[in-house]
DNA sequence: ATACTAATCCCGA
DNA sequence: TCGGGATTAGTAT
């Protein structure tokens, strides 16, 4: 990401933020396949900065709405492994990092991660603060957490992850620029080599013959040939 | 397969 | 104690 609102995906082709499509986060494939578009910003093709003109499907406490429809948030859905998983409402966020459930696998002390995404409203607000200040102090974070109904730690994590994301985006952008520069230099190098392989006479424009050029020119030419190896 | 995101763990200042 | 780096795990494309 450069700071002018471009996304760089590493392919060298930057995209305008407004060109990046939205997508949904929850796949309620079994219970309700219409549960789409509820937490749109922070997706795999998400816009790291909130941009103007967002049409957000806002999520409110304990409910998800789309096109005016209201859904219960604690709907059973299927995880990718086919297990039943409960989706979490915004008001559940405070528990998201403080839950005491244990991993049932062979790592008994590790907490099981419950997948959830912050709501568009939360992300929008977090983004707008981030634009002003990427390192909010504890008071600012606490403020935000209260306002957005998030655990203070979640706010802390969000800013941490957002800074990391920003860093990698900037690195990608810089890499793309360096790659461009590299390609340019490589092409230049090739054409110089080609010119040296077929030296032209400065006077008549025809092919140069060693005997016809000065000793000094011969010397330069020989050095160039050596450098070519 | 790959990218993204929320969260965790660990380490150094 | 806090932030950053590395990593994990759930999900979307």
Q: What is the pLDDT of residue A196?
A: 86
The CA distance from A7 to A45, in Å, is 10
Q: What is the pLDDT of residue A210?
A: 54
Greater confidence (A174 vs A81) lies with A174
Rounded to an integer, the average pLDDT of A43-65 is 31
Question: Is the Cβ atom of A153 within 7 Å of strand B at any atom?
Answer: yes
Q: Give strand pairing partners of A2.
A: A6
Average pLDDT, chain A: 58
Rounded to two decimals, the pTM is 0.53
**Gap from A59 CA to C11 C1', Å:** 19
CB A58 within 8 A of CB A37: no
- Could you tell me the domains of chain A? 6-176 (1.10.10.60), 199-229 (no CATH)
Count CA atoms within 13 Å of residue A131 on its CB side. 12
The CA distance from A24 to A199, in Å, is 62
**Gap from A113 CA to C8 C1', Å:** 9
Of the pLDDT bands very low, low, confident and very high (cuts 50, 70, 90), residue A218 is low
Q: What is the pLDDT of residues A134-191, one digit of tens each?
A: 999 999 999 999 999 999 999 999 999 999 999 888 888 888 888 888 999 999 999 9
Q: Pick the closest to residue A128 from A110, A111, A140 (CA basis).
A: A140
CB atoms within 10 A of CB A89: 20
Q: Kindly report which amino acid residue has its CA closest to the C1' atom of nucleotide C12.
A: A44
Question: Is the Cβ atom of A109 within 7 Å of strand B at any atom?
Answer: yes
Residues of chain A with pLDDT > 70: what percent?
A: 40
Question: Is the Cβ atom of A26 within 7 Å of strand C at any atom?
Answer: yes
Rounded to an integer, the average pLDDT of A119-127 is 92
Rounded to an integer, the average pLDDT of A112-122 is 80
Q: Give strand pairing partners of A6.
A: A2, A16
Q: What is the pLDDT of residue A214?
A: 62
Question: Is the Cβ atom of A9 within 7 Å of strand B at any atom?
Answer: yes
Q: Give strand pairing partners of A78.
A: A84
Greater confidence (A45 vs A185) lies with A185
Q: What is the pLDDT of residue A126?
A: 94
Residues of chain A with pLDDT > 90: what percent?
A: 23
Greater confidence (A218 vs A96) lies with A218
Greater confidence (A39 vs A159) lies with A159
CB A114 within 8 A of CB A88: yes
Q: Which of A19-23, A158-162, A206-210 has the weakest average pLDDT?
A: A19-23
Question: Is the Cβ atom of A112 within 7 Å of strand C at any atom?
Answer: yes
Which CA distances in Å does A149 have to A24, A38, A43, A105?
Answer: 21, 17, 20, 31
Of the pLDDT bands very low, low, confident and very high (cuts 50, 70, 90), residue A103 is very low
Residue A7: pLDDT over 90: no
Q: What is the pLDDT of residue A112?
A: 53
């Amino acid at each position: 990401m450069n700071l002018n609102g471009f996304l760089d995906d590493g392919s060298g082709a930057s995209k305008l933020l407004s060109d990046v499509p939205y997508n949904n986060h929850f796949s309620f494939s079994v219970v309700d396949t219409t549960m789409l578009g509820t937490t749109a910003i922070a997706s795999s093709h998400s816009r790291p900065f909130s941009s103007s003109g967002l049409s957000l499907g806002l999520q409110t406490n304990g409910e998800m709405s789309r096109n005016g429809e209201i859904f219960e948030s604690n709907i059973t859905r299927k995880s990718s492994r086919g297990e039943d998983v409960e989706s979490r409402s915004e008001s559940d966020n405070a528990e998201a990092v403080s839950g005491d459930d244990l991993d049932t696998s062979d790592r008994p002390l590790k907490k099981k991660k419950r997948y959830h995404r912050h709501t568009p409203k939360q992300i929008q607000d977090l983004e707008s603060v981030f634009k002003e200040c990427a390192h909010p102090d504890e008071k600012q974070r606490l403020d935000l957490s209260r306002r957005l109904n998030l655990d203070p730690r979640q706010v802390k994590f969000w800013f941490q992850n957002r800074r990391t994301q920003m860093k990698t985006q900037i690195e990608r952008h810089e890499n793309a620029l360096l790659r461009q520069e590299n390609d340019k230099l490589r092409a230049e190098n090739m054409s110089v080599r080609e010119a040296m392989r077929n030296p032209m006479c400065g006077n008549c424009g025809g092919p140069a013959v060693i005997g016809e050029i000065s000793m000094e020119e011969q010397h330069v030419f020989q050095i160039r040939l050596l450098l070519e190896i």
